[in-house]
A and B are shown apart, each in its own frame.
Chain A
Amino acid sequence: MLESLKLCMHITLRNWMVYKKDFIANISPTIADPALILVSLGLGLGTYVTNVEGMSYMQFLAPGLTVATALFTSFFESSYGFFVRMTFENVFKAMLTTPIGVKEVVLGELIWVALKGAVMAVGVAIVLALCGMMTNPWMIPMLSFVGFLVALPCGAMGLLSTSFVNNMNQFQTVYSFLIAPLYFLSGIFFPIDQMSTPVRAVAEIFPLIHGVRLAQALFWDRDIFSTLLCSGGILVLQSAILCAWAFVRIRKKLIT
């Protein structure tokens, strides 16, 4: 068990070493995307939409952006990134000749994307807090928890996509019909209650909406404890299911 965890951490460290080699390129979308949305939607659209749930549109938008960051950073890493490592770079063919097994490969990847999600969410939250978007800036460290809990199941969804596609091009289908709809329909851009019931019911199955609720509670300093319990609990459950499923699927890919 301890040995296994140690190996997972070594995989995480390996990914970090590769990531930091091309740091600027790797971190660009994580920084640029939320900034762009905040400026274009928050400042631009925000002049027309002046009151959403009793706050400015920018204030409404802010918490969701931290969650979106965790979604994208984890999903792309464990879909395109993992696929390239598996298929073109043959990283796991070599790794699996060492004491590392598939369990460590999957867990190591998921720990990596979850930690990355946590760091990114905090990074975005700091910037937003500096812009005055956070009621209580002492809540910033808690955003690491949200980033982790969103990135973990979304990373598992990325691994699952990897296990289903036959080539890299097919990730586009997953993105267009799953990830993009989740992004737009999980309460980041407009209040969840305004979505039609069927859409909302589908959104509830996926992790993003619960992450958004959690982030909103922390940003707006509202019902933090009960949201942590409820949305946090759902995220833990979803993580467990998605990670276990991802492990089973990836195992079939790596061991024949």
Chain B
Amino acid sequence: MILAKSLVKSFGTFSAVDGIDLQVQKGECFGLLGPNGAGKSTFISMTYGTVQRSRGELSVFGYDPKTDSREIKKRMGVVTQENALDESLSVFENMMIYGAFIGLPKSERKSRIDELLEYMNLAHKKEALIQTLSGGMKRRLVFVRALLGKPELLILDEPTTGLDPAVRHLLWGKVKELHQAGTTIVLTTHYMHEAEVLCDRLVILNRGKIVADGSPQQMIQQHTPGFVGIFKPEDKTHVEKIVANEKNLNFHEDTSGLYLRAPDLNQLATLHSNHGLQPLQIRPSNLEDVFLKLTGQELSVDA
């Protein structure tokens, strides 16, 4: 559905997207993961033409967004990073305007809006003004807006940034349902966990380049297999001694604590009985570990 080859977007001497190759297949949920400023939103904006590529190739549904963005946008729904709702208008009025923008016939507009407000648990807010809605409600309404035209391709640009866990989980549930119903989804996020929960396949972007790709499990298996124990910073000398003596242990330190990764859960679990070292937490390795390993200290330095 989306095909990018050596895609570059430069602003002056700075390349926000710096030679990306990727392909999004019909029906999959594809993730673009990366810190702020990695090039995620620049890439997304290129797919519907508000950012135009500097070099390389890009096609969406077989169309070039530079010349045929309208054809693309007719089949696409976007949950924009900013809500961009008309604050002085009601929920229903906002959606009626967008129903008109996407060319929904007048007779269908009302029923489609009602259906989607119901789906996003917003039916009771139909007549409320946007300025009276909570952040989570506004976000859900942006989902309604993106879904009005029954898009084949749904773009979610940081859909859950700044939301509380309850709303986040609700939205994840909805995204999974849409995915199961056959909608192709492209998701950008800087929450590793979100990508792990939702995406079939993803790429990690850093400074405009793809640093890893695959399914979340593949990536974890490939880059940081096993389990991670987190220890208090005070135990540093103790931990370093153990790392020096034991095999298969990976050590990583940052301001939040000390991280030891081992392929085998047992090895971490026995650190307490064998060495008297009490971990704060032991958990399976996740995408965050992959991310930190691949991007290292670069993480959000420029963001």
A230 within 8 A of B: no
Contacts known (A90-B84, A98-B101); A17 close to B89, Cβ less than 8 A: yes
Which residues B54-75 have CB closer than 8 A to chain A? Answer: 69-70, 73-74
Q: Is there an interface contact between A17 and B93, defined as CB atoms closer than 8 Å?
A: yes
Q: In the complex, what distance in Å separates the CA atom of A94 from the CA atom of B97?
A: 12
A93 to B81, CA, bound (A): 9
How far apart are B46's CB and chain A's nearest CB, in angstroms? 10
- Shortest CB distance A190–B (Å): 41
Residues of A1-19 at the interface with B, using a CB-CB cut-off of 8 Å, are 3, 6-7, 10, 13-14, 17-18
Tell me if A21 and B89 are in contact (CB < 8 A).
yes
Chain A residues with Cβ under 8 A from B85's Cβ?
94
A214 → chain B closest CB, angstroms: 35
CA distance A17 to B89 in the complex (A): 8
Interface assignment of B86: CB less than 8 Å from any CB of chain A = yes
Q: How far is the CA of A254 from the CA of B78 in the complex (A)?
A: 17
Instruction: Write out the residue numbers on chain B whose beta carbons fall within 8 Å of the beta carbon of A256.
Output: 11, 50-52
Looking at the complex, which one of B11, B49, B73, B100 makes contact with A10 (CB distance below 8 Å)?
B100
The reply to whether the CB of B231 lies closer than 8 angstroms to some CB of chain A is no
Q: Does A99 contact B (CB under 8 A)?
A: yes
Most buried by A among B74, B93, B101: B101
Q: Chain A 85-103 against B: per-residue CB contact (8 Å), 1 yes, 0 no?
A: 0000111011111111100
CB-defined contacts of B82 to chain A, threshold 8 Å: 90, 93-94
Query: Hey, what's the 0/1 contact readout for B100-113 against A, CB within 8 Å counting as 1?
Result: 11110000000000
CA distance A94 to B102 in the complex (A): 12
A53 in the interface, Cβ–Cβ < 8 Å? no
Q: Is B251 an interface residue (CB 8 A)?
A: no
- For the complex, count residues of B whose C-beta is within 8 A of A: 33
B139 on the interface (CB 8 Å rule)? Answer: no
Q: Beyond A96-B50, A101-B69, A255-B52, is A91–B97 a contact (Cβ under 8 Å)?
A: no
Residues of B within 8 A of A89 (CB): 84, 86-87
Which of A90, A93, A97, A101 is B76 in contact with, Cβ under 8 Å? Answer: A97
Number of inter-chain CB pairs below 8 Å: 76
Closest to B98 in A: A98
B50/A254 in contact, CB under 8 A? yes
B96 and chain A: residue at smallest CB distance: A17
Q: Are B73 and A97 in contact (CB under 8 A)?
A: yes
Give the contacting residue for B86; candidates A91, A99, A254; CB below 8 A: A91
| CB-CB nearest in chain A for B145 | A94
> Is B23 on the interface with A (CB-CB < 8 A)?
no
Task: Confirm or deny: B259 has a beta carbon within 8 angstroms of a beta carbon on chain A.
Answer: no
Query: Across the interface, which residues of B come within 8 angstroms of A193, CB to CB?
Result: none
Are B80 and A94 closer than 8 Å at their CB atoms? yes
- Docked Cα-Cα span, A250 to B282, in Å, equals 54
**Contact partners of B143 in chain A: CB under 8 A:** none
Chain A residue at minimum C-beta to C-beta distance from B149: A98
Contacting pair A98 B89 (CB below 8 A): no
Cα distance A5–B206 when bound, in Å? 42
Question: A111 CB to closest chain B CB, in angstroms?
Answer: 15
Taking Cβ atoms with an 8 Å cutoff, the residues of B that contact A are 11, 48-52, 69-70, 73-74, 76-78, 80-89, 93, 97-98, 100-103, 145-146, 155
Given contacts A89-B84, A96-B50, 17 further A-B contacts (CB under 8 A): A6-B103, A10-B97, A10-B101, A14-B86, A17-B86, A17-B89, A89-B86, A91-B84, A91-B86, A93-B81, A94-B82, A97-B76, A97-B155, A99-B74, A99-B102, A101-B69, A255-B52
User: What are 25 A-B pairs at a CB distance below 8 A?
Assistant: A13-B97, A17-B97, A18-B86, A21-B89, A22-B88, A89-B87, A90-B80, A93-B50, A93-B82, A94-B82, A94-B84, A94-B85, A96-B48, A96-B49, A97-B48, A97-B50, A98-B73, A98-B102, A99-B102, A100-B101, A101-B49, A101-B69, A254-B50, A255-B50, A256-B11
Nearest 6 A/B pairs, CB to CB: A94-B84, A97-B78, A90-B84, A98-B101, A90-B82, A10-B100
